[in-house]
Amino acid sequence: METSSKPKTRRSKNGCRTCRIRRVKCDETSPSCTRCTSTGRTCEWIGVFRDGLGDIKPRLRPQQALPIFPNAKAEELRGFEFFQHRTAREMCPSFDFGFWTSLVLQLSRSEPAVLHAAIALGVLHETEESLGMPISKDRLTHNEKHKFAVGQYNAAIRLLMGGRTATSVLATCLIFIHIDLMRGLYQAAGAHIRSGLKILEESGSVLSHDVNRMMRTGFCRLDLQATHFDAEAPYSKLPVYELAALDDALSRPFITLKDAKEQYDALLYHTFRLLRTCEGNVLKNRLDHLSDQVLRAQQQKLLRAHRNFLQSCCVMVQGPTRAAGQEQQALRLLQMHTLLTQVLVRVCMARDVEDAFDEHIRTFEDIFLLAKEFVSNQTNAQVDDSASRVGSLSTDWGIIFPLTMTALKCRVGSIREEAVCLLEAWKHREGFWDSALAARCCRELLSVELSDEGGSVNKLANIWVDIPDHQREVTLTWDMESQGASDTPAHSRAVAI
C-alpha cells in the first residue's frame, strides 16, 4: 500500500528572522525586507547585516556573537549583550530604519569605537531601567555603573581621535546622542546632532546609498525632536518635499507605514519652521506686517496637508486592507502627533494663543484617548511577540510629547489630570523626551495655574477649568543639566507656556 506524504520543502536560510518566525516568505531585502517594513515590524537578521560593507563569515547567531570579543571583560560583555538583545531591538519599535537592528550590530564587531559606545549605552539603559527610569541626571558620584559607562564612552572618543571611517564616526555619534540623553546632558546631545549632520553633509558622497539613508534618517529624526529643546533647531537641510509638492503628495493616500512616516517627517519639518517664524513675529508684534500674509498662506497649506494626512491614516486604520497589530499602534502614534501639530499650526498666528487653545478641547480629548488606547494595547501585547512590545528606551517620538501638551494646554481638569497620571505611569525615554521629567514639569505648572492667592491648589474637577489670565501667564524654568529629582523648578508669571 502506497502512502502519500507531503513533498519536502527547504526553508530559506537567508531570509530575516522575523519572517521565518511568522512562516512567511522573505524577499531578503537589506537592511529591512518589504514584508516587515510594510507591516511596521522590526526586521531582524540572524547574524550580521548584509549591506555591502563587507561580508563577515561565518554568519553568527546572536547567542554566538559574544565570543568574537575575546579580550572583553565580563562587565563589557554584559553591557554589549544587553545592548544587542534589548536596547538595539527596542530603539525603533514602530518605524525601524535599519540602523539599530542591523548596521550598528555589524559595525560593533569590526569598529572598536562603535563597540565601546554600544557597551556604554547598554549599561546605562539597564541601570536606568532597574531604577524605574527616573528623571535624567548625572549620577557619576553615586552610581558605579554610570562611572563604568562613562569610561566606555571616553574609550570610544579616544579611538575616534585616532582616525576612523565616516561610517564609524557617524554610527558612534548617533549612539553618543542617546548616551548624553540618558545622562541628562541635553546640550551635549544637541552638539552631537550638529556635528553628525555636518559630517554627513561633508561625507555623504562616500557612503553607500543604504548607509547614507540610515544615517540621515537617524540624525534628522533627532534633529526634529531637538526643536523643543534648542532654539536654533532643526539644523538639518532636509531633502524633503517643497511645501507645495508636499501638499500634492499628501493628497494621494500613502500605501505603506514607511511612506506614512517619511511624509509625516517632511510635514513636521515644515510645521516647525512655520511655528518658529510665527513665534518670533508674535514676540516682535509683527502680526500685521505684509510678510505675515505669506505665513498665513503657508499656514493654510499646512492645515490642508494635515487634513490629507489624517484622512490617509483613517483609510489605513479602517479601510478594507486595514492595518493590524504593531502597524495599528504605529498609526495611532502618527494620528496622535498629527492631531497635535494640527492644533499648533491653527493657533500659531492667533493674537492670544492661550485662548486659541481653548477652541480645541475635543482634539485634546481625542489625543488622550489615542494615547490611553496605545498604552492599553502595549500592556496587553503577547509576551512572546517582540514586534508588539515597546521597551523603556526608544529613539523615536512616542506618547510623551502629545500627552505633555495635552496636560499643559487642555482646559478640562479631568483630562489634564489623567494625562499627567499616564505620563507618571509610562516609565519611558523617547529620544529627547523623558516621561518622568515631563510629568514633574506638568505637575508643577498645574499647581501654579490652579492655585489661589494663598497658594493652595484648587481640586481638579470633571469640568471646564476657568483659569484667570494672570494665572495662565507662567514661565516654568527647569535646568535639566543640574537639577536633581528632588529639586523644584523655578517659575514666574511672565510668558505663557
Q: 420 near 407, Cβ under 8 Å? A: yes
- Alpha-carbon span 432 to 221, nearest angstrom: 11
Locus of grid cell 526608544: 394
Tens of pLDDT, residues 239-292: 555 676 777 777 777 778 888 998 899 899 899 989 988 876 655 555 555 577
Orientation of helix 361-379 relative to helix 400-409, angle to 10°: 140
**Residue 4 scores a pLDDT above 90:** no
Q: Please report the pLDDT score of residue 196 as a whole number.
A: 94
Pick from 455, 451, 371: nearest CA to 405: 371
Q: Please report the pLDDT score of residue 354 as a whole number.
A: 83
Q: 467 near 446, Cβ under 8 Å? A: no
Angle at 221 between CA 216 and CA 222, to 5 degrees: 105
C-alpha cell at 390: 515597546
Domain ranges of the chain: 13-46, 54-228, 240-346
Read off the pLDDT of each residue in 42-48 and give the average, rounded to a whole number: 54
- Helix or strand or coil: residue 451? strand
- Alpha-carbon span 307 to 301, nearest angstrom: 10
- Alpha-carbon span 320 to 264, nearest angstrom: 23
- Indicate the pLDDT class of residue 451, thresholds 50, 70 and 90: low
- Alpha-carbon span 497 to 488, nearest angstrom: 17
**Residue 214 scores a pLDDT above 50:** yes
Low-confidence winner among 23-37, 215-229, 391-405 (lowest mean pLDDT): 23-37
- Alpha-carbon span 311 to 304, nearest angstrom: 11
Q: Please report the pLDDT score of residue 290 as a whole number.
A: 54
**pLDDT mean across residues, the chain:** 78
Low-confidence winner among 38-42, 56-60, 127-131, 184-188 (lowest mean pLDDT): 56-60
Helix residue ranges, H only, 40-133: 74-82, 88-90, 104-110, 112-130
Q: Please report the pLDDT score of residue 221 as a whole number.
A: 92
Q: Please report the pLDDT score of residue 88 as a whole number.
A: 94
Q: 107 near 114, Cβ under 8 Å? A: yes
C-alpha cell at 435: 516621561
Pick from 489, 469, 349: nearest CA to 411: 469
- Alpha-carbon span 261 to 265, nearest angstrom: 6
Q: 435 near 428, Cβ under 8 Å? A: yes
Q: Please report the pLDDT score of residue 324 as a whole number.
A: 66
Q: Please report the pLDDT score of residue 361 as a whole number.
A: 95
DSSP characters over 235-250 = --------HHHHHHHH
HSE-up (13 A, CA, CB side) for residue 485: 14
Q: Please report the pLDDT score of residue 246 as a whole number.
A: 74
Q: Please report the pLDDT score of residue 138 as a whole number.
A: 53
**Residue 45 scores a pLDDT above 70:** no
State the DSSP code for 394. E
- Alpha-carbon span 177 to 380, nearest angstrom: 31
- Alpha-carbon span 408 to 304, nearest angstrom: 26
Read off the pLDDT of each residue in 126-153 and give the average, rounded to a whole number: 82
More confident residue, 318 or 52: 318
Tens of pLDDT, residues 295-342: 889 999 999 999 999 998 888 877 655 556 788 889 999 999 999 999
Q: Please report the pLDDT score of residue 53 as a whole number.
A: 34
Low-confidence winner among 88-92, 195-199, 375-379 (lowest mean pLDDT): 375-379
- Alpha-carbon span 340 to 401, nearest angstrom: 9
- Indicate the pLDDT class of residue 59, thresholds 50, 70 and 90: very low
- Indicate the pLDDT class of residue 34, thresholds 50, 70 and 90: confident
pLDDT above 90 coverage of the chain, percent:
40
- Alpha-carbon span 312 to 147, nearest angstrom: 48
Read off the pLDDT of each residue in 48-66 and give the average, rounded to a whole number: 35
Q: Please report the pLDDT score of residue 486 as a whole number.
A: 41
- Indicate the pLDDT class of residue 2, thresholds 50, 70 and 90: very low
HSE-up (13 A, CA, CB side) for residue 171: 30
Tens of pLDDT, residues 91-139: 998 899 999 999 999 999 989 999 999 999 999 999 999 888 887 665 6
136-145 long-range contacts, CB within 8 A, separation 24+? 136/181, 136/182, 136/183, 136/184, 136/429, 136/434, 136/436, 136/437, 136/480, 137/183, 137/184, 137/483, 137/484, 137/485, 138/183, 138/184, 138/185, 138/481
Q: Is 455 left (phi over 0), alpha (psi -120 to 50) or beta?
A: left
Pick from 372, 481, 369, 365: nearest CA to 426: 372
Q: Please report the pLDDT score of residue 79 as a whole number.
A: 93
**Residue 488 scores a pLDDT above 90:** no
CATH superfamily of 13-46: Zn(2)-C6 fungal-type DNA-binding domain (4.10.240.10)
Q: Is 285 left (phi over 0), alpha (psi -120 to 50) or beta?
A: left
One-letter identity of residue 47: G
Q: Please report the pLDDT score of residue 105 as a whole number.
A: 93
Q: Please report the pLDDT score of residue 258 as a whole number.
A: 87
Q: Please report the pLDDT score of residue 72 as a whole number.
A: 66
Read off the pLDDT of each residue in 191-202 and give the average, rounded to a whole number: 92
